[in-house]
């Protein structure tokens, strides 16, 4: 069975190669080929999953060593795969949701003349993402890590004739590169500390080095995770990334790629477990981001940007859980999977709405759409109930566990984290209810003469229905008999957390938070008519619309500052460095004078003198030989 | 006596150059095909060198040795080690693409197909490129310091004419200004490198004096000197060694080029045609970094160690400064030139880190940078030929009208920013790891610059390829067959060497071990093992 692992990556990679190099011939069939290969990857994933279930829990990890990649003395990087329960979870999520989104895109991108290329990029993304979660060492993971970054760059900028899309794509890549610096340094530290950067030997020998080294490695890994998973302070790219086509937002910027940071931290669990300071930073980043994203999500009128804020916030929950150590890893991944279902579903719903509304994204120009798009309404509604944690749905089980685990961290830290998580739950309920009300309820705020909202074609609605199923039932199934925790336990370990209050109290508090959020939103957006033009809003609202001014800061410090710096350096290079070097040379041999003279038309004479010099040299040599 | 493969490898392009130059004025096309065939034969010979080379064998192989100027102990000595072998292969590989890309670059000087003209620029252009190839190849193969020096200097002459005589006609201030700038660039190139070369000459003579003094008989033989050093027969006084080192290093640092001696490169690469720019940065400049590894470290190990702190700082400055200045460029060829300065900083960092990863990384970096810059620069050249401008601001939306060209440009760009999966990533990461393991702070600072590389590449791509289609870009044709024939193999190679670089590392690693034993350095052991 091990030999099948390579196929998981190989099938979509083949698709990408064929679709991107194949030329116009494939325009009419390319999307089917892309979808088929994504599905092939999923089927292989299912086969391997079935095989894995047949084995003892401790014997489930599979390895496939392909070849020696970069061998230089002690530095031995291999291309090899490792498929354990953690990777398996991701493989099924990535290839499953990925296939659904391929199907959805067939309809969504139908009128785009570059659809073949779009599917090529999607396939490329799948291949890179699967490589990321299947690699058995950090350097190979890095290849997948940047590969998904590349696919994300290409897909955000897919409509690159729009300058905003091209800029957003560039920004995403650059911010991610900042994170990549962290990953590079982490790998280098591992190499100098352990002499290797393969998962098994590194993670098994964490006990042999100092806590300081592990903390440094952990923090560098966290930097990488912050970039990829849009966590504060590297979150600024995700909102802009919504410039990409909606299926991309669903697959890459909601369900899979942005969760890679959580994977990285969970995978490196042994490092973080032995470095409490690094863990503290992880939970802090998670808590801050879950609130940051939620607040931003409340203020956005663009449906996709509101959802993007929400994604940031939900990944904040996962980060928080992952930072808690063995009491949280399983829940981080469980929330990651349920979030994969409901957030992908929500994005696809948003895409379906836009599809029917002439690509309008401003929710203030929606309203009352439930009658026109019943399937979208129901599936989106189920996703909505799941994300706010409505009791019994997926999000309820996964989020509740995280809040409980946060309290269980103990002490003041536990209380702070738990409260943040609860507060986040209330705000989540608020902004999602706002989205729901603005879009599907209330009066229509669009012009029926110009806009004819309609339900989307079958290829789009079926994936939405499937994801809605997941949004409803996945959490319950995972929670049943602690299925999910037992499944992951051999990889991530598991400890029961003990919150300072009973589990029922936490659940009750979560439900209360939810009710507060929903009611608040209903008072503001359900009871009163919604103005089509956004009111000026409070200081906080205005700041939140601008992503809490973080972008403005970036602009002033990095963009403007950087422009001045580079311009200044260009000037200096020309005037100072060139001038000083020429000047120094001049004081020896009159170089600059000659350069100037040459510019006045003495080129040929100089060439002649140079040849003359060479001739003299040769003559002298010959003469010396003669004597 | 066995077949002198190395001599033949260098001689074929040299003879080819003469033959091409001798073609009659009317036979322009035949001259081009002749030059291309010669370069392909050279490529075959270089491949034969790679095949015949046994990585597990002696340090220098396929050696040839003959007395030349007996009075000075100068010998015609050739030999190839793993590092030289891959660089000869790189040179032989790139030249056919350079010729093919520059197929029409000298047509205009010839003034069309008018019969009876005596000036034969097309023949000259192709012959000069082959001449450079021959000289570069022999620099990589020479194991006699004087022999190396002669060709290290001599290649300036054809390069001077290539830059000054066949420049890029696309200039924002008109043809006359272009011609002035071209002359300036050519002379600047010449003077900078000549100055470096003269100082090196003094050091070469000094080295002779030292060996004559201590060994009784002066020699320029690299092997003889290294062996004498190792056995203790030759012991240079500290100050002498340092002075000699500086003489050599200065010449190589001009050629490489290292901050602050870099300012000739943007002029030269900007004004030369794109293929010649590739010849400068991807081929000729590599002799500089190669020579640091072979001659500075091999002949003057103690002085190299003495100079390391300063060199590392200069390399770091080159890396950061080159990248930042690249971001601010308005001219895409100058942008690529500054990017190269940044990359040369990485190579020099790897050389002076003096670890296995640093040295193997630096060697692979030379190869990979050659291929990636060739891909990026040649596509830029195709673009410039179409629009007649080097200014980034004159482009926009190319992706819409010429998607294949834009795609190739992007791949070249991604290789330049060392995207994992493409060849340059491997060399860059090896250099970083090799540096980090000995000098963690330097390694961390260098690692942080990968953000800047992404910045200049993506800004360039965004401004030229995306956005609304600009006026002059409309109707621009996509890549033609000849251009595809240039780009496709380069891209394929970037991917192949990114996925499977083992054939190269297998050849390079043993050579690197020899170099490290010259400087008597060992890789730092990982903490966990060191603790045991």
By the 8 A CB rule, do A1 and A48 touch?
Answer: yes
Residue B215 domain-assigned?
yes
In the stretch 367-426 of chain B, residues with CB closer than 8 A to chain A read 397, 399-400, 407, 414, 419-421, 425-426
Q: What is the ipTM of this complex?
A: 0.93
Chain B nearest CA to A190, separation (Å): 9
H or E element at residue A80: strand A75-83
Q: What confidence category does residue A603 fall into, taking pLDDT thresholds of 50, 70 and 90?
A: very low
| B281 lies in the same domain as B307 | no
Residue B175 lies in a domain: yes
For residue A621, name the pLDDT band (cuts at 50, 70, 90): low
Interface contacts A/B by beta carbons within 8 Å: 199
Cα angle at A134 between A130 and A139, to 5 degrees? 105
> Are A355 and A452 in contact, with CB atoms under 8 Å apart?
no
Q: Are residues B212 and B195 in the same domain?
A: yes
Domain ranges, residue B126: 1-108+117-299
Distance CA A464, CA A339 (A): 14
Distance of residue B95 Cα from the nearest chain A Cα, in angstroms = 26
Dihedral (CA of B206, B211, B212, B214) sign: positive
B532 domain residue, yes or no: no
Which of A142, A145, A566 lies nearest to residue B324, judging by beta carbons? A566
Q: What is the mean pLDDT of chain A?
A: 87
Average pLDDT of the residues in A43-57? 92
Asked if pLDDT for residue A599 goes beyond 60, the answer is no
**Do the domain assignments include residue B507?**
yes
Those of residues 64-93 in B touching chain A at CB distance below 8 A are: 69, 71-72
pTM of the model: 0.93
The pLDDT tens digits for A161-219 are 889 999 999 999 999 999 999 999 999 999 999 999 999 999 998 888 899 999 999 99
Residues B245 and B304 in one domain: no
- How many domains are there within chain B? 2
Among candidate residues B385, B463, B376, the one with its CA nearest the CA of residue B413: B376
Q: What is the largest CA-CA distance in chain B?
A: 81
Which of A187, A581, A594 is opposite residue B260, by nearest beta carbon? A581
Give every CB contact of residue A229 below 8 A, 6+ residues apart in sequence.
A258, A259, A260, A261, A262, A315, A319
Would an 8 Å CB–CB cutoff place B179 in contact with chain A? no
pLDDT tier at A342 (50, 70, 90 boundaries)?
A: very high
The series of mean pLDDT values per 10 residues for chain B, 532 residues long, is 87 95 87 95 95 91 88 88 95 96 78 53 91 96 93 92 80 76 88 88 89 86 88 87 93 91 91 93 95 93 93 95 91 95 96 95 96 96 91 91 94 95 95 95 94 93 92 90 94 96 94 88 82 62
B291 and B357 housed in the same domain: no
**DSSP class of B329:** -
- In this structure, are B294 and B306 located in the same domain? no
Please tell me whether residues B362 and B288 are part of one structural domain.
Answer: no
- DSSP per residue, A265-334: HHHTHHHHHT-HHHHHHHHHHHHHHHHHHHHHHHH--BHHHHHHHHHHHHHHHHHHHHHTGGGTHHHHHH
In this structure, the answer to whether residues B285 and B393 fall within a common structural domain is no
Q: Quick check: A591 pLDDT over 70?
A: no
Using the 3D structure, point to which of B278, B299, B320 is the last residue of a domain: B299
Same domain assignment for residues B132 and B279: yes
**Residue pair A179/A226 in contact by the 8 Å Cβ criterion:** yes
Q: Is B19 on the interface with A (CB under 8 A)?
A: no
In a domain, B530, yes or no: no
Does B142 lie in the same domain as B54? yes
Question: Nearest C-alpha of chain B: how many angstroms from A441?
Answer: 37
| Domain final residue pick, B299, B325, B359 | B299
Contact B71 A580 (CB under 8 A): no
Tokens (6 digits) for B325: 């200045």
Is B133 within the bounds of a domain? yes
Q: Residue A479: which pLDDT band, with cuts at 50, 70 and 90?
A: confident
Other residues' Cβ atoms within 10 Å of the Cβ of residue B202: 12
Shared domain for B295 and B308, answered yes or no, is no
* Contact between A58 and A490 (Cβ < 8 Å): yes
Whether residue B531 is contained in a domain is answered as no
pLDDT tens digits for range B480-508: 999 999 999 999 999 999 999 999 999 99
Is the CB of residue B110 less than 8 Å from the CB of residue B117? Answer: yes
Q: Quick one: B178 and B319 in the same domain?
A: no
Last residue of a domain, one of B262, B284, B299: B299
Give the separation between CA B328 and CA A571, rounded to whole angstroms: 9
- B109 with B122: CB under 8 angstroms? yes
Q: How far is CA A251 from CA A347, A377, B19, B514, in A?
A: 9, 20, 60, 51
Question: Could you tell me which residues come within 8 angstroms of residue A231 by beta carbon, excluding any fewer than 6 positions away?
Answer: A225, A261, A285, A286, A289, A312, A315, A316, A319
Chain A residues within 8 A of B500 when measuring between CB atoms: 67, 69
Nearest to A578, CA basis, from B187, B261, B252: B261
Secondary element (H or E) of residue B65 = strand B61-69
Question: Do B253 and B215 share a structural domain?
Answer: yes
- Rounded CA-CA distance A625/B4 in Å is 25
């Amino acid at each position: 069975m091990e030999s099948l692992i390579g196929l998981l990556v190989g099938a979509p990679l083949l698709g990408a190669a064929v679709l991107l190099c194949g030329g116009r011939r494939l325009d009419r069939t390319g999307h089917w080929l892309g979808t088929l290969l994504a599905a092939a990857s999923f089927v292989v994933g299912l086969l391997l999953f079935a095989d894995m279930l047949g084995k003892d829990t401790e014997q489930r990890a599979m390895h496939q060593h392909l070849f020696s990649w970069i061998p230089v003395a002690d530095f031995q990087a291999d291309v090899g795969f490792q498929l354990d329960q953690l990777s398996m979870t991701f493989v099924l999520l990535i290839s499953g949701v990925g296939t659904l989104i391929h199907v959805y895109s067939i309809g969504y991108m139908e009128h785009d003349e570059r659809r073949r290329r779009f599917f090529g990029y999607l396939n490329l993304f799948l291949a890179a993402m699967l490589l990321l979660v299947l690699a058995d060492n950090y350097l190979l993971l890095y290849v997948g890590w940047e590969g998904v970054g590349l696919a994300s760059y290409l897909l955000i900028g897919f409509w690159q004739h729009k300058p905003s899309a091209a800029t957003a794509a560039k920004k995403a890549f650059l911010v991610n590169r900042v994170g990549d610096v962290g990953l590079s340094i982490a790998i280098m530290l591992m190499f100098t500390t352990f002499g290797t950067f393969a998962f098994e030997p590194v993670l098994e020998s964490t006990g042999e080095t100092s806590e300081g080294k592990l903390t440094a490695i952990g923090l560098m890994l966290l930097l990488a995770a912050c970039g990829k998973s849009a966590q504060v302070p590297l979150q600024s790219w995700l909102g802009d990334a919504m410039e990409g086509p909606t299926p991309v937002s669903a697959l890459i910027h909601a369900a899979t790629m942005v969760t890679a940071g959580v994977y990285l931290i969970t995978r490196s669990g042994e490092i973080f477990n032995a470095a409490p300071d690094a863990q503290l930073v992880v939970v802090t980043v998670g808590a801050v981001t879950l609130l940051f994203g939620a607040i931003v999500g409340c203020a956005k009128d663009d449906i996709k940007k509101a959802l993007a804020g929400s994604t940031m916030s939900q990944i904040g929950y996962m980060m928080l859980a992952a930072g808690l150590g063995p009491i949280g890893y399983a829940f981080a991944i469980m929330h990651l999977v349920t979030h994969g279902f409901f957030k992908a579903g929500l994005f696809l719903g948003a895409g379906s709405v836009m599809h029917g509304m002439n690509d309008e994204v401003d929710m203030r120009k929606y309203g009352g759409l439930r009658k026109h798009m019943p399937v979208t309404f129901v599936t989106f509604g189920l996703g909505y109930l799941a994300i706010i944690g409505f009791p019994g749905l997926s999000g309820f089980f996964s989020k509740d566990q995280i809040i409980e685990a946060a309290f269980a961290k103990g002490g003041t830290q536990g209380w702070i984290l738990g409260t943040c998580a609860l507060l986040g739950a209330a705000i989540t309920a608020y902004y999602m209810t706002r989205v729901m009300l603005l879009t599907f309820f209330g009066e229509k705020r669009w012009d029926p003469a110009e806009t004819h909202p309609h339900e989307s074609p079958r290829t789009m609605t079926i994936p939405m229905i499937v994801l809605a199923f997941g949004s409803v039932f996945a959490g319950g199934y995972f929670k049943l008999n602690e299925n999910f925790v037992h499944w992951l336990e051999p990889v991530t370990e598991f400890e029961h957390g003990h919150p300072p209050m009973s589990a029922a109290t936490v659940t009750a508090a979560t439900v209360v938070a939810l009710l507060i959020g929903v009611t608040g939103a209903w008072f503001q957006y359900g009871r009163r008519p919604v103005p089509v033009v956004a009111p000026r809003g409070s200081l906080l609202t205005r700041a939140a619309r601008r992503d809490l001014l973080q972008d403005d800061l970036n602009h002033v410090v990095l963009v403007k500052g950087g422009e001045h710096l580079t311009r200044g350096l260009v000037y200096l290079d020309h005037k100072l460095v060139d001038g000083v070097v020429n000047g120094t040379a001049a004081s020896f041999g009159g170089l600059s004078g000659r350069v100037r003279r040459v510019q006045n038309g003495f080129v040929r004479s100089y060439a002649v003198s140079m040849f003359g010099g060479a001739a003299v040299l040769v003559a002298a040599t010959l003469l010396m030989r003669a004597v | 006596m066995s077949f002198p493969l190395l001599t033949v490898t260098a001689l074929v392009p040299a003879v080819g150059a003469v033959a091409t130059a001798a073609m009659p004025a009317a036979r322009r096309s035949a001259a081009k095909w002749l030059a291309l065939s010669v370069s392909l034969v050279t490529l075959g010979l270089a491949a034969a060198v790679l095949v015949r080379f046994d990585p597990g064998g002696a340090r220098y192989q396929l050696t040839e040795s003959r007395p030349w100027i007996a009075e000075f102990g100068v010998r015609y000595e050739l030999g190839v080690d793993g590092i030289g072998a891959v660089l000869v292969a790189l040179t032989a590989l790139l030249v056919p693409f350079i010729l093919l890309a520059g197929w029409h670059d000298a047509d205009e000087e010839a003034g069309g197909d008018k019969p009876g003209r005596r000036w034969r620029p097309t023949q000259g252009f192709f012959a000069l490129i082959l001449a450079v190839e021959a000289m570069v190849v022999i620099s990589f193969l020479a194991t006699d310091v004087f022999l190396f020096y002669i060709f290290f200097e001599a290649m300036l002459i054809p390069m001077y004419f290539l830059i000054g005589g066949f420049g890029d006609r696309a200039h924002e201030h008109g043809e006359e200004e272009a011609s002035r700038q071209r002359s300036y660039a050519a002379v600047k190139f010449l003077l900078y490198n000549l100055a470096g070369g003269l100082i090196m000459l003094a050091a070469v003579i000094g080295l002779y004096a030292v060996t004559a003094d201590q060994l009784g008989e002066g020699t320029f033989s690299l092997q003889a000197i290294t062996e004498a050093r190792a056995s203790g027969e030759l012991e240079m006084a500290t100050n002498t060694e340092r002075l000699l080192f500086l003489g050599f290093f200065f010449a190589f640092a001009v050629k490489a080029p290292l901050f602050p001696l870099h300012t000739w490169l943007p002029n030269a690469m900007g004004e030369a045609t794109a293929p010649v720019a590739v010849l400068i940065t991807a081929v000729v400049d590599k002799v500089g970094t190669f020579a640091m590894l072979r001659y500075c470290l091999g002949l003057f190990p103690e002085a190299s160690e003495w100079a390391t702190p300063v060199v590392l700082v200069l390399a770091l400055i080159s890396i950061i400064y080159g990248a930042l200045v690249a971001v601010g460029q308005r001219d895409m060829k100058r942008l690529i030139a500054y990017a190269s300065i940044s990359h040369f900083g990485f190579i020099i960092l790897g050389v002076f880190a003096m670890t296995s990863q640093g040295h193997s990384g630096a060697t692979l970096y030379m190869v990979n940078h050659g291929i990636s810059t060739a891909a990026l620069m040649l596509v830029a050249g195709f673009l410039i030929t179409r629009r007649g401008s080097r200014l980034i601001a004159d482009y926009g939306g190319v992706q819409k009208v010429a998607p294949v060209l834009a795609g190739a440009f992007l791949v070249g760009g991604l290789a330049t920013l060392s995207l994992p999966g493409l060849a340059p990533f491997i060399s860059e990461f090896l250099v970083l790891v090799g540096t980090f393991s000995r000098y963690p702070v330097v390694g961390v600072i260098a690692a942080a610059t990968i953000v800047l590389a992404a910045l200049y590449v993506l800004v360039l791509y965004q401004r030229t390829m995306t956005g609304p289609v600009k006026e002059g870009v409309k109707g621009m044709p996509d890549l033609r067959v000849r251009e595809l024939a240039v780009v496709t193999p380069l891209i394929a190679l970037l991917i192949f060497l990114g996925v499977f670089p083992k054939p190269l590392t297998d050849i390079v690693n043993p050579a690197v071990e020899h170099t490290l034993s010259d400087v008597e350095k060992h890789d730092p052991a990982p903490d966990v093992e060191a603790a045991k």
